[in-house]
């Protein structure tokens, strides 16, 4: 997806429409990859189908999932555009990329009348939509509605693959995947056409792969995770925050990978640079027109109001992750917060759009902390990435206080729909990491010696033997 988006935008900026070429190239590449790994794919599919058929619980869960996805794909073909941002931002940019080339694109992206469209955003999603238009030869709004459904399917398939192992007799990972599919937030975002589902896919898969790479000492998996997080950065600007925090917190003691880069690292770096190059060329030619793009300047211009608002916004966002919006409700008058929530019984104790997923995160984290002391550095890394991402987003929200006022920021920026766009990917990544790590059978890394990183294993003790003897899960 990153390569398709970059190739599409690059061809357009070079002055060519390139309609059909991206489809031909990706189709040929996909067929070559399938043929090269035909035995691996064949054996994997046959084995997976056989295990599923022989497992009644897995059959029931798979049947429910199939029915839900059939409904979602049918809705994509029938339901109109449901997201305002999709019409005003993502699909508008996709149409420009489809219809225009070269300097025409830069001209439209520099048009002050279109400032509301966040034209300075990364272009992975509109480029994928434009590539879809190119493949069918014309603009069709409905084809873009299939992208979120496919990306949700890819996400659940990837997480399901990572959950396989000798402990597969425990059905908790399967029920977790079904729960993710049925969450109200998931169902809401999969029917939207913007960048929420794409950034959920890249963020969740990237952070889970990074966590597994750190735990297994597998440099290949770690590189894959960072590459996926770079895909999140090419989707939305908060993805840049997630990528930077994930890489920065790896410098914690016990997690730090070797400073000497391997040849694989340079290949990954080269791919990411090429994937970002078309957007960088476009971004150098256009201004940042949207008022929110200057949030850093607003924060520096009004440091007092920003710093005073950060802890309040942070605590409100944190509270609304765990409890209902009606209970965690505040208003601000003259700079002072007033609780305006209402107690509505036990239903007030969890967020209705996530069905209490934040509490599941806390429970799984505590269980994993007790069951696997050797993995505690991974837990600390996951929590550090999540908490620091929430703090930085709170700083961004607080920078708008000097313009809109604290009350407007609280009512608009901390609402479930707004914070869900930014924090729901991190919340899913946190839960997925804990569930997969808890039930996973850890195997020796399959990468070469120069790709190894030092696993976080304390010296001596019973915990060390867990990692150094034979592959085993915590329930084995």
SS (H, E, C) 362-374: HHHHHHHHHHCHH
Length of the chain: 476
Sequence-ordered alpha helix ranges (H) in 284-405: 295-301, 303-322, 357-371, 376-398, 401-404
Above 60 in pLDDT, residue 424?
Answer: yes
Confidence of residue 454 (pLDDT cuts 50, 70, 90): very low
Q: Quickly count: other Cβ atoms within 10 Å of residue 402's Cβ.
A: 18
pLDDT band at 45 (very low <50, low <70, confident <90, very high): confident
Tokens 């880069």 belong to which residue? 261
C-alpha 324/C-alpha 416 separation (Å) is 9
This prediction's pTM: 0.87
Is the pLDDT at 232 greater than 80, yes or no? yes
**365 contacts: CB under 8 Å, gap ≥ 6:** 379, 382, 383, 430, 434
Least confident range from 229-233, 288-292, 320-324, 447-451: namely 447-451
Least confident stretch, 69-83, 186-200, 313-327, 454-468: 454-468
Return d(Cα 220, Cα 421) in angstroms, integer.
30
Residues 6+ apart with CB under 8 A from 239: 122, 199, 202, 203, 229, 231, 232, 233
**Mind listing the pLDDT tens digit for each residue in 367-411?**
999 988 888 899 999 999 999 999 999 999 988 888 878 888 888
Residue 318 has pLDDT above 60, yes or no: yes
Helix (H) or strand (E) holding 186: helix 184-190
Which residue in this structure is represented by tokens 């402990």?
167
Determine contact, residues 222/453, Cβ cutoff 8 Å.
yes
Q: What percent of the chain has pLDDT over 90?
A: 41
């Amino acid at each position: 997806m990153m390569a398709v988006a970059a190739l599409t935008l690059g061809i357009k900026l070079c002055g060519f429409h390139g309609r059909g070429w991206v489809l031909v190239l990706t189709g040929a590449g996909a067929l070559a990859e399938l043929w090269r790994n035909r035995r691996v794919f064949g054996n994997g599919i046959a084995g997976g189908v056989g295990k599923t058929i022989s497992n009644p619980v897995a059959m029931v869960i798979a049947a429910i999932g199939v029915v839900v996805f059939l409904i979602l794909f049918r809705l994509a073909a029938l339901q109109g555009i449901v997201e305002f941002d999709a019409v005003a931002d993502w699909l508008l940019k996709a149409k420009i990329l489809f219809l225009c080339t070269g300097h025409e694109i830069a001209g439209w992206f520099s048009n002050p009348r279109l400032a509301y469209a966040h034209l300075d955003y990364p272009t992975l999603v509109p480029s994928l939509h434009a590539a879809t238009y190119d493949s069918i030869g014309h603009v069709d709004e409905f084809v873009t509605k299939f992208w979120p459904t496919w990306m949700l399917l890819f996400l659940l398939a990837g997480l399901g693959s990572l959950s396989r192992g000798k402990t597969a007799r425990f059905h908790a990972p399967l029920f977790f995947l079904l729960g993710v599919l049925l969450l109200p937030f998931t169902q809401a975002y999969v029917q939207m056409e913007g960048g929420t589902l794409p950034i959920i896919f890249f963020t969740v898969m990237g952070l889970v792969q990074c966590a597994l790479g750190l735990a297994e000492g597998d440099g290949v998996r770690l590189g894959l995770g960072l590459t996926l997080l770079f895909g999140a950065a090419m989707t939305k600007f908060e993805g840049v925050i997630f990528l930077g925090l994930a890489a920065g917190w790896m410098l914690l003691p016990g997690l730090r990978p070797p400073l000497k880069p391997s040849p694989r690292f340079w290949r990954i770096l080269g791919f990411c640079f090429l994937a970002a190059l078309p957007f960088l060329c476009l971004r150098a030619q256009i201004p940042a027109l949207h008022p929110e793009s200057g949030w850093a300047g607003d924060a520096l211009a009004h440091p007092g109001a920003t710093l005073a608002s950060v802890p309040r916004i942070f605590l409100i966002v944190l509270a609304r992750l765990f409890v209902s919006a009606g209970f965690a409700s505040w208003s601000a008058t003259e700079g002072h917060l007033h609780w305006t929530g209402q107690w509505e019984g036990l239903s007030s104790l969890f967020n209705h759009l996530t069905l209490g997923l934040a509490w599941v995160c806390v429970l799984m984290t505590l269980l994993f902390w007790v069951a696997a002391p050797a993995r505690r550095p991974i837990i600390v890394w996951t929590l550090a990435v999540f908490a620091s991402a929430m703090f930085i987003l709170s700083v961004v929200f607080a920078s708008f206080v000097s313009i809109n006022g604290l009350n407007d920021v609280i009512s608009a920026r901390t609402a479930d729909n707004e914070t869900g766009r930014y924090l729901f990917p991190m919340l899913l990544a946190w839960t997925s990491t804990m569930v997969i790590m808890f039930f996973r059978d850890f195997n020796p890394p399959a990468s070469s010696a120069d790709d190894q990183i030092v696993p976080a294993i304390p010296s001596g003790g019973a915990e060390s033997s867990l990692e150094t003897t034979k592959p085993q899960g915590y329930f084995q």
